Amino acid sequence: MKKNKRTAISSLLCLTALTSILSLSAKAEFQQVNQSPSPQDLSSMIESMIPSYGPTFGEPPSDILMDVPVFSRQSFFKFEEVIGYLHSQVEAETDVIYLINTFDRATSCRNRDLNSIPAQHMVVLKRNSESDSFFERDGRGKIIDFNRQGVQMLALERNGATINYKGNPEFLSVNDVSHSNLTEYVPISSGINSGKKILTYSGIFRINERRTNDRRKSTNTIQDPMQYSVYINGQYNDGREAALALHGTSSNYWPLLGKQRASSGCIRMHSDFSKWNQSFLFGKSFDGQLVPRDELTGDIRLWNRVNLFPPAESDFSSLPRGRKLKALVVMFDGYKSQCL
């Protein structure tokens, strides 16, 4: 009799537990179905579902005897290879372009054109209006130089070789930047191949607005080693989100900017410049969220984040659209032929 009673009580307890589990599961499922993703999360979902385009393999540097996948931390391409993927449809949906030379050996080039960005430096371009193009192209659509009538360059004040980062950076015409007290070349330090540090890979990327905002509390302090970060919108083949950002660095690394590779893979900049750069792209909401600036945002095509480059023109028009910052980060490992 006692045994039957214990069995009945045990069965009742199991039934109660099972009912509770089913209830929690149903509640969670209901919440999942009825929770609408935010626009930023939705854009990320769309980007992940878009088929991969672009080159599956690239030519590796001579010291790496292996194939280079679509998105790898060992993907290095010269300027001529990278810029070839910036076709006119991508250009038309872009208002700001960061051109970053991650090469490690300086050149004595004194030209002021597209083929003359010094190693470990960056140039920031902004077009005058939506009807203007960034570049001059030949009859086959190949980019040959800046469109000097339609584009502005970010200019920094300088006194000799010393840049005044406290001054207010200003977008000026290409010809106006040639004054001796100004420079369009922003010193950076890219990744170094040492220990857990990696060389900065090449490619063309949009801005990861969600990650930039999510990381704002940890990156917007002078103590943080990645001050005022702006993240690129990339994702490795294994699903991990790329952590590469344009960010400020602590003062002990400032002497290395523009001179040598030094970072763990990101693009390091002077802290004052990184603060300006983040505020140039993002405003702040009443609760401190970083919000992409309306004047630099538009309804543009989204491509898969695992690609190093945008899809070809033949595939581009069929891509889904989303409201995003109309900015591009273009990183390349030097030139095949500089100072043309």
d(CA 245, CA 227): 10
- pLDDT for the residue numbered 64: 30
- pLDDT for the residue numbered 66: 30
Quick one: which of 243, 305, 231 has its CA closest to 274?
231
d(CA 262, CA 264): 7
- pLDDT for the residue numbered 248: 93
Q: Is the separation of the CB atoms in 305 and 203 below 8 Å?
A: no
H-type alpha helices, 145-270: 209-214, 216-219
Q: What is the pTM of this model?
A: 0.80
pLDDT-flagged residues of the chain (< 70): 1-74, 108-110, 222-223, 338-340
- pLDDT for the residue numbered 6: 52
Collapse the DSSP code of 127 into the 3-class scheme (helix H, G, I; strand E, B; otherwise coil) and give the result: strand
d(CA 38, CA 48): 15
- pLDDT for the residue numbered 216: 86
Q: Is the separation of the CB atoms in 268 and 286 below 8 Å?
A: no
Q: CA of 335: how far to CAs of 187, 257, 259, 339, in Å? A: 18, 20, 17, 9
Quick one: which of 322, 219, 311, 309 has its CA closest to 271?
219
Pairing of strands 282-284, 267-269: unpaired
Domain ranges in the chain are 39-332
- pLDDT for the residue numbered 123: 96
- pLDDT for the residue numbered 8: 53
DSSP 8-state code for residue 84: T
Pairing of strands 96-101, 121-127: antiparallel
With 0-12 / 13-18 / 19 or more C-beta atoms within 10 angstroms meaning exposed / middle / buried, residue 52 is middle
Q: Which residue has the tokens 């990696």?
A: 198
CATH number of 39-332: 2.40.440.10
